[in-house]
Every structure is written in C-alpha cells, then in structure tokens.
A and B are shown apart, each in its own frame.
Chain A
Amino acid sequence: MSKINTIEVKALTKIFDKDVKAVDGISFNVKEGEILGFLGPNGAGKTTTLNILSTLLRPTSGTATVNGHDILTEPDAVRRSIGYVFQDTTLDIELTGRENLDFHGRLYGLDRDARQQRIKELLELVQLTDRADDLVKTYSGGMKRRLEIARGLLHHPTVLFLDEPTLGLDPQTRRSIWEHIQRLNQEKNVTIILTTHYTEEADFLSTRILIIDLGKIVALDTPDNLKARLKGDVVTLTFKNPAEIETFRPLLENINWVHQINVVTSGNNYAAMSRMMQTTTMSSSMNIGGTMPDMNSRTIGEHKKIPKQSQQKTEKPAADKSLQFGGETCPKCLNLLVDNGGHRIPEIVKLADEAGVVLESVELHKPALDDVFLSVTGRNIRDEKGSFMDMVRHRRIIRQARGQRVRG
C-alpha cells in the first residue's frame, strides 16, 4: 500500500480504576482517505478509543499518532487535526446553526473571512443553508446531526471521528446521513473513523471494519473479506416443535456439507457460548438484516421479517434463557452453515421428512456482517443483554468512564 497512515495506534490500553480494561492493548493503522468502521456492542471500548485518540482521555499505556502528531506530547496539534462528532448532541440549542459553526470557527482560531467562507460552503454541503439562522432547538434530529458533522469539518481536519452517527435516527434520515458521510469522504478526502453497532452501517460505509469486543480487536478486514471468511450460505430452519431440534441435530452432524450447526443462544450464558464457539470454531446466526440493501436473502415459508426498530426493542428480562434470533427470541430455530445452500434445501427438507420432523420454514441467506460478528465474538451484536457479569462490568465501565477525569 502506497498510502500513508493517518492514524497509527500501538498497544493502546485504558484501564479504569483497578482492573476494568475498557481498551486492551489494541494496535491498528488507518490509511489516508479510508473509512474505518469500529463495530462492536455497547461497552466494547469504541468511544473510549475515540476519546483517547482525540486526547480527551489519557491512555493507561500504549500510544498513538494522529496525522503524524503524538497524542501524548502534542495534544493541541492532534486536536487541530481532528473533528469529533460525539454520540450525544453537543450543539448549543439556544444558538442558531450559523452561530454554532461560528463559535467553533473562532474556537479553532479561524479568521473572519475564512469562517464566513467555510461556514457557507459547509452549510451547502449538509443542505442546511436555508435553516442556518434558526435556533438549533427548532431542528430535527437529522438536521442536528448534519450540523454537527458540518461543524466537525469546519477547521479542515484531516481526520473525522463519528461516534454512532446515526444512533436514534429513522431509516430515511440514517440513509441520508450515510450519503453525506460518503460524499465528504470522497470529495474532501477526509479520513474517517466511525463507531457503530449497526452492522449494515459498517458494511455500507467502511473501507475496512474493525470488530472490537471487550476492549480487544477480534477482526480487522474489508467487509467483503470478513464475509468471505464464512464460506457458504446460512440456512435457518424453524421447527414446529422445538423438542425436535435435538432429534434432528444428530442427523445433520454427520453430513459433510454442513459445516456448522448453531443455535443462537441469548448472551445470558456467555461462558457456555464461548466453549461452544471453541468447539465449533465458526458459527453463524440467523439474520434477516432488515435494512441491509444487498442482503441477497430469500425466504421460503412464512417467516416474518422483523423491522429493525422492533428488533431493538425486543429486550426481554435477563432471566430469559431461550435462544436468540437476530435480537428476537427464537426457541425453535437452528442455523446451518452449508455449501451451496440453495441446492441443499431440498435435501434438508427431505431429511426432515424422513425423520418425521416438521419444519415451519426454511430460510436462506448469504452470511452478513451479523454472522461474522457472531462468529468472531460468540455473541449476537444486537443482543444487548449480555451475561450478568458482562452487564455488571459494562455498567462499571460506563460509570467510571463518566467519572474519569478528562484531559483539558
């Protein structure tokens, strides 16, 4: 690769208080003009990493350079090189859009002409010119987001950090934000690190995806390469009678084109889950990727497509031990990773018939990033429950992260 590294991260570790490792010795590089997607569940260490790279937090050990400047010794130069769009809005809603941008320009030392020129240009880029002089409190969520992205770019940063840029936005707005991000990456050649826990967002935008879980990098590759890791297709069987899963499973285990059989358990039993992962080495989850544009998914039978929004809301009490299904509980499902899935479906159905097992539906799809995520972390990304210990750990991290002194 001839392109230079805009960001170089070496063995970065952040330990909050005693032994809670929010970021655990991560190293990676980001090349000029790249969009690096940071994919991971809540509490994985994404925001902590961004806060360290933006010099808001000091790492416990390790170091990094941003645009050639060391985060430890040249924090001001790093801050000038970056634009940071935080997860929660950081606009002053009592000021107008233009005033927010002007404030930012002054804070970064731009003179009047440069500010006016740049503000005009960026308002056009994010299509907010006609609302620029309205108070931000009258803006919609998507407009606020666009204004923040514009603000992050105002001082000509070489790198833009976007922390969950579309969190809480509706699908159309999300799509338009994606287009804005893509456009500014291409037109302005801005290097971007984007954190998200939406796999389809990472897939759509990223040049490369870095999957992070429990503070560690578990995978770093292009979206296509990541998906190619899971060779074959994912076939999801839904059983009429859940008890028959155990009857049918041994029959499948002996077939050579079935590479993997997996029940997507809820994250409650994480230890058991990792053990299972070790023995199966790879797994896949049922996924219908509601909003994935290129899902290549065909449904046989009457499997309900679950809209993304409702998937996220289906958080059940932690005591629920049943199997997970793309964020929804599916006690009757079994996922198979098979070669040439389309041709195998008749064989599977025939096998089920012979065994007297009744299948409610059979669904086929190409491995999506959700499957990759599950395969490398052993958890479903939409499963926000986690084990009890994970939850305790996560809460502690969040609490401590809030209590952590931030570098001024």
Chain B
Amino acid sequence: MKMVQPLSGQAIYVVLLRELKRYWRAKARVISSVAQSIFFLAIFGLGLGGFVGRFGGVTYLSYMAPGVIGMGLLFGSVASGVSVIFDRQFGFMKEMLVAPVSRTSITMGKILGGATTATIQGIILMTVAGFMGAFTPSLTFLVGAFAAIGAMLLITAGFVGLGVAIGSTLNDFHAFQLLSTFVMWPIFMLSGVFLPIDVSPLPLQVAMLCDPMFYGVELMRWCLLGAGADLLGSLGWLISLSVVAIFDILMVGLGTYLFSRSQI
C-alpha cells in the first residue's frame, strides 16, 4: 500500500456532497441534537444559573453555551466519522473502494463532509443559544461568531478524524454503545462545559488538560464571549488554537492511515 496517494478534487467533493445530502435528509438527527442542547441550556443554564449567579463576569448560561455548542460539535463529528462502519456494513464502501480514486481522497471527503455538517449543527446551536440570551448582541459578538465558525470547522475536523480512525478499527457497530459511554461522554464531561478547571480537584484538572475538547471549548468561549470577559482558568486563545490544530493534524493523519488499511 502506497502511503502517499494522489488526491482527487472531484472525489473529495463527491464524498463531501454525499455527507451533506445525507445530513440534510436525516432531519430527526438534527432535531434531536438541537433539542438535547436546548434541554442542557434551559435546565442547567437557566435553572442552575439562577442559583450559581454570575460566573467569571458572565451569566452561567453564557458560560455554558459555548460548551453546549461544543457538545453538539463533538457528538456530531465523531458520529459522522464513525459512519464508515455503516458504509462498510451496508456495502456502499465497496462502491467507493473499487473506484479509481485513492483512499486518501475518500477520507478527506469524509472528514470535510463531517466537519461541515457538524459545523452547520454548531451554527444552529449558536443561533438557538443566542435567542435564549446567552450572548450579548454587538458588533464584537458578530465578529466573534464568525471566528467561532472557523473554530468549529477546526475542532470538528479532528474529531471526524478520530471517528474515522475508530470506525476503521471497529468491525462491529454494536461497539457503538461502548464508544459512546467510554469515549464520547468522558471527552464531553471533561471538556469544562459546566465547571472551570481551577475549581476542580487536581486529578480532574490533569484529566481535563488531556482532553482535546477542553481546548476546543476554551477556544469557543474566547470567540463567543470575547477576550474581555474575565474567564476563570482561561488558557488564552493561542494555546487552545495550537492544541486544537495539533490534534487535527494527528487525528486526520491517524484516520487516513487506519482507513487506508481497513478491511471491507
């Protein structure tokens, strides 16, 4: 197997297009994901928020919102990467593999497609959170929102890569449940959605610092709440952005590698 494979723009595009079409048609998935996030924002953000009060200079709802958007990004992107299992299960994988295009092109299409759909999901959530009063409407916020869209693409690309890597390794889609419990939920819970890192006990802090999504959530907060907000435990955008970028490179590489040697 040649590790350096030629990329075909049209092949990448067509795989991406398929992801978009499938996303557009799976309305139930979109609705349930949006609803789930609304529950989080309403129950924790508004409910618990009244008890917690202001938090690092912003309301608790505002503090949580970037993290809840991050949750949507995380679950959406990992799921779309892992869907290579279903492609294999239902045979469509063979159609792609027997075509005169490299596997790298297919993986790239898959990752770009997954990142795009998860980001669309993120934009919907961002809008919903905005209407719930999580963000202060201003020109600064508008600029930050566009920055956040860029950040979403970056964050999701790495997690789609992780999903593709997992999907290429697991042959059984019953393992999906295990994946959800032991991979996705810990990543989400440790990403600092609900609590700032410096009020957590030390072992938890270490675990949080090992969670790539923690940096993703930090980045989202920086974009959406502004650098001016006095955020507890903020690492600063540069560190977060760097970690996310390194994670992207590693995961896209790993996903591409494992997919190229996966079995049908």
Q: Do A and B bind each other?
A: yes
Q: CB within 8 Å of B: which residues of A? A: 54, 56, 75-77, 79-80, 82, 84, 86, 88-95, 99, 103-104, 106-109, 151, 402-408
**Closest 9 pairs between A and B when the two form their complex, measured CB to CB:** A408-B103, A90-B91, A79-B100, A106-B14, A76-B100, A107-B99, A90-B95, A90-B94, A92-B92
The answer to whether A404 and B263 have CB atoms under 8 Å apart is yes
Partner of A79, one of B10, B94, B99: B99
CB distance from B25 to the nearest CB of A (A): 6
The answer to whether A406 and B97 have CB atoms under 8 Å apart is yes
B232-264 Cβ-contact flags toward A at 8 Å (1 or 0)? 000000000000000000000000000011011
Find chain B residues with CB under 8 A from A76 CB: 100
CB distance from A81 to the nearest CB of B (A): 9
Secondary structure at the B interface, as helix, strand, loop or mixed, is: helix
Indicate if B5 sits at the interface (CB-CB under 8 A). yes
B14's closest neighbor in chain A, by CB? A106
Q: List 14 A-B contacts (CB under 8 A).
A: A56-B264, A79-B100, A86-B95, A91-B95, A92-B92, A92-B95, A94-B22, A106-B14, A107-B96, A107-B101, A402-B263, A404-B263, A408-B102, A408-B260
CB distance from A193 to the nearest CB of B (A): 14
B87's closest neighbor in chain A, by CB? A92
Interface residues on B, range: 20 to 34
- Alpha-carbon distance between A368 and B18 when the two chains are bound, in angstroms: 47
B1-28 Cβ-contact flags toward A at 8 Å (1 or 0)? 1000100101101100110011001100
A84's closest neighbor in chain B, by CB? B98
Find chain B residues with CB under 8 A from A80 CB: 100
Find chain A residues with CB under 8 A from B263 CB: 402-406
- Alpha-carbon distance between A408 and B2 when the two chains are bound, in angstroms: 9
- Alpha-carbon distance between A93 and B103 when the two chains are bound, in angstroms: 22
The answer to whether A107 and B21 have CB atoms under 8 Å apart is no
The answer to whether A90 and B11 have CB atoms under 8 Å apart is no
- Which of B96, B100, B101 lies at the interface centre, i.e. has the most chain A CB atoms within 10 A of its CB? B100
Partner of A86, one of B25, B91, B101, B102: B91
The answer to whether A107 and B5 have CB atoms under 8 Å apart is no
Find chain B residues with CB under 8 A from A109 CB: 8, 10, 100
Find chain A residues with CB under 8 A from B97 CB: 56, 406, 408
The answer to whether B94 and A106 have CB atoms under 8 Å apart is no
Indicate if B90 sits at the interface (CB-CB under 8 A). yes
- Alpha-carbon distance between A294 and B202 when the two chains are bound, in angstroms: 83
The answer to whether B22 and A89 have CB atoms under 8 Å apart is no
Find chain B residues with CB under 8 A from A402 CB: 263-264
CB distance from B28 to the nearest CB of A (A): 12
